[in-house]
Amino acid sequence: MRLSIDHRTVYAFTAPQGRIVQLLRMTPSDTHDQTVADWQIAVDCDSRMTQHRDGFGNATTMLYCEGAIERIELIVSGEVVTSSSDGVLRGVTECLPPRFFLRTTPATAANQAIMSFASEVSSGRDLAALRRLNTAVRERFADDCGRPEAGRTAAEAFVLDALTPRDMAHVFIAAARAAGAPARYVTGYCDLTGDHRPTPHGWAEAHIDDLGWVAFDPWLGRSPEEHHVRVAIALDAGGASPVAGSRLGDGVERLEVDVTVQGDD
């Protein structure tokens, strides 16, 4: 499948900024089942960009903008060709051992309720158990199609009736780690979540002995296949966020994000 992606982010400031520095995790990498046919990052002001890899192996871009900046628009667009993999990740250079992803973070800490949930629905860390967990998360929560609430933890999300993709992924990760399976957060794009979602998509990957890393998307209740474009990984959503940075200047920042993903068989 060929997926076309348009991801636009607009920052507007109530006072001019003297300098903006951003770390962008917005560039997908080639894998066995994902080929980047075209990818561009553009900014509507004078800027400098440098390309790097972070400790997780994610492709990153450092963006530097100087001057009296009142507004900046960041446009990411491209096409990625994907194929079916049954959710099994292949052709990726792993920078860290699987056991690293047993580490918990404040966003993915499992409380007693999540640990009990994991024990009741999965009772293991093999492929069948993790598929049951993925399905159980999907069935427990309704969909929240709004923007994720900053700082919400898996424990805080677990008591709600409706969750965003990010929160469902955090619940899955917390439960999987509680069951002893290394798990991590993935940010990317998917054409099954509806056009013009307010944010990129998020899901999870868990490591299974003798099989490797396998992707699970609780929002859809299935493993990602050709409809997903994998961009970045980390222990939680904050570590894999598409944009992180700082600015030099006073005033308040207003943010608008628009993401469109279209698939063509």
Using one digit for the tens of pLDDT, what is the confidence trace for 157-178? 999 999 999 999 999 999 999 9
Rounded Cα distance, 61 and 52, in Å:
6
Question: For 11-32, what is the mean pLDDT?
Answer: 93
Assess contact for 237 and 148: CB atoms under 8 A: yes
- pTM here is 0.94
pLDDT at res. 195:
53
Question: Is the pLDDT at 147 greater than 90, yes or no?
Answer: no
Q: What would you report as the CA-atom Rg of the chain, rounded to the nearest whole angstrom?
A: 18
Alpha-carbon distance of 248 to 241, in angstroms, equals 21
Phi, psi angle pair for 215, to nearest 5°: -90, 145
Domains of the chain: 2-80+243-264 (2.60.40.2250), 84-240 (3.10.620.30)
